[in-house]
Amino acid sequence: MTEVVIAGIGQIPVGEHYTLSLRSMGVQALTRALKDSGGLKPDALYIGNLLSSMISHQSNLGALFTDYGRLDSIEAFTTEAAGASGAAALRLGVLAILSGQADTVAVLGVEKWSDLVRADAEAMITQELDYDYESIPGLTSTSQAALIQQRYLHEHDLEQNALSGFALLAHANAVHNPFAFYRNPLTEEGYARAGMLSDPITIFDGATYADGAAALVLTRRELLPRGYAHPVISVMGSGASSDALSWHDRTEPMSFTAAVRAIDQAVQQAGLSKEQIDLFELDDAFSIYAALTLEGVGLADKGAAWKMARDGEYNIGGRLPILTMGGCLARGNPIGAKGVYQVVEAVTQLRGAAGANQVKGARAALSLALGGPASTAIAHVLKRESE
């Protein structure tokens, strides 16, 4: 089978880029990834984005970025899968190469959140929910996550601050990530004083939406340029699944079934077991998403992920490092670009280039991006080639 290699990575800092346009952000990330690849020329460009047509008043991003990225007349279009849009673009790129329809593919995740005032932008993000049965009655992504977290606390008889370990871990890891939005450590006391977003979710349990752009260059193993400067990192597995859009229609509302299916697919394709994964860049748009993901895929017992986070089992030197560069909770949540940032960070780890955040001896990484509360789930397994 064709081996799909991630030859290049590029990103810009996540934040509020008031002086940058959607196109300039995306071109910066693309240019960096292409340079990092050793100058490969892509046959296709797939873009993950959720909000540009509504917030930046710009659709047809394929033509926009092939033009301003000087990529000539290659195939290019946008994928939309809510918060999993960037991961969906990566999956398209992997499938294009595996099918033989492309030799080299560029993948871009880009989101410009700050072009509208927050209240208006917040209203648009609710489109990841069921508009008729959730958004119109007044539910938001945050209030939905609050209901889920409240149920979790009730079912397991936990205190309100039980999930603090995820925020503390994320902020500790983001300190050493130059691309993170929040680079200050968080204390338990600081977490306890935090303002409430939607009871019981505090400002540290819900990731801040932000601007961002990250890019990848994929190619076949045999097409890497002579003298390629990096360790070879391959995409060994790709999985995708979906669940009911409305939370109330879920057969098992407290289980992230789509996430479990997507991860199982990706891990099985890779020929690995979950125990062979060295780090996991999961989706922590909300702390409760992290807990339910870890428990759903069997990396924690039911009702125990919060305690494992507090006990340091998910730290850089722990049993299974997660959110190694800060995750959404501290890096920031660039929405449609999130899935590409996760993979850029995983590649950085597997290259051994993560600095103070380096997971020692990392050889295999798992990423998972969610659209909504696992309405859509897309997972990838990456592995470093043995020297």
pLDDT of residue 117: 73
Cite the DSSP H helix spans in the chain.
22-36, 61-68, 85-99, 118-125, 141-155, 164-174, 188-192, 257-270, 287-296, 305-310, 327-331, 338-350
> Tell me: the pLDDT tens digits for 201-236?
999 999 999 999 999 999 999 999 999 999 999 999
> Tell me: the pLDDT tens digits for 131-177?
999 999 999 999 999 999 999 999 999 999 999 999 999 999 999 99
- Give the distance, in angstroms, between the CA of residue 264 and the centroid of all CA atoms in the same chain: 18
* Among candidate residues 203, 183, 215, 187, the one with its CA nearest the CA of residue 28: 215
248: left (phi over 0), alpha (psi -120 to 50) or beta: alpha
How far is 25 from 156, CA to CA, in rounded Å? 43
Tell me if 88 sits within 8 A of 79, measured CB to CB: yes
Pairing of strands 44-48, 201-202: unpaired
Burial status of residue 204 (CB atoms within 10 A of its CB: 0-12, 13-18, 19 or more): buried
Domain 136-206+233-384, what architecture? Answer: 3-Layer(aba) Sandwich (3.40)
Question: How many CB atoms within 10 Å of residue 251?
Answer: 8
What percentage of the chain has pLDDT greater than the value 70? 99
How far is 190 from 94, CA to CA, in rounded Å? 42
Query: DSSP label at 97?
Result: H
4-117+209-223 and 136-206+233-384, same CATH topology? yes
**Residues paired with 240 in a beta bridge:** 378
Pairing of strands 44-48, 75-79: parallel
Sign of the dihedral through C-alpha 160, 170, 119, 52: negative
- The structural domains of the chain, with segments of one domain joined by +, span 4-117+209-223, 136-206+233-384
- Pick 4-117+209-223's CATH classification: 3.30.43.10, 1.20.1440.230, 2.40.170.20, 3.40.47.10: 3.40.47.10
In the predicted structure, residue 387 carries a pLDDT above the cut 80: no
Between CA 288 and CA 299, with CA 293 as vertex, the angle to 5 degrees is 120
What percentage of the chain has pLDDT greater than the value 90? 94
**Residues paired with 377 in a beta bridge:** 241, 370
Please state, rounded to an integer, the average pLDDT across all residues of the chain.
96
Maximum separation of any 2 CA atoms in the chain, in Å: 58
How far is 379 from 387, CA to CA, in rounded Å? 26
Q: CA 30 → CA 122, 182, 214, 242, 343, distances in Å? A: 27, 24, 7, 29, 15
Q: 197: helix, coil or strand?
A: strand
In the predicted structure, residue 36 carries a pLDDT above the cut 70: yes
pLDDT of residue 168: 98
How far is 121 from 377, CA to CA, in rounded Å? 23
Taking the model in full, what pTM does it have? 0.97
Would you state the structure tokens that stand for residue 330, as one six-digit string?
């501290």
> Tell me: the pLDDT tens digits for 308-317?
999 999 999 9
* Among candidate residues 215, 191, 261, 292, the one with its CA nearest the CA of residue 46: 215
In the predicted structure, residue 3 carries a pLDDT above the cut 70: yes
- Give the distance, in angstroms, between the CA of residue 145 and the centroid of all CA atoms in the same chain: 17
Give the total residue count for the chain.
387
> Tell me: the pLDDT tens digits for 118-143?
777 788 888 899 999 999 999 999 99
How far is 45 from 50, CA to CA, in rounded Å? 16
> Tell me: the pLDDT tens digits for 99-117?
999 999 999 999 999 988 7
Tell me if 380 sits within 8 A of 293, measured CB to CB: no
Please compute Rg for the chain using Cα positions. 19
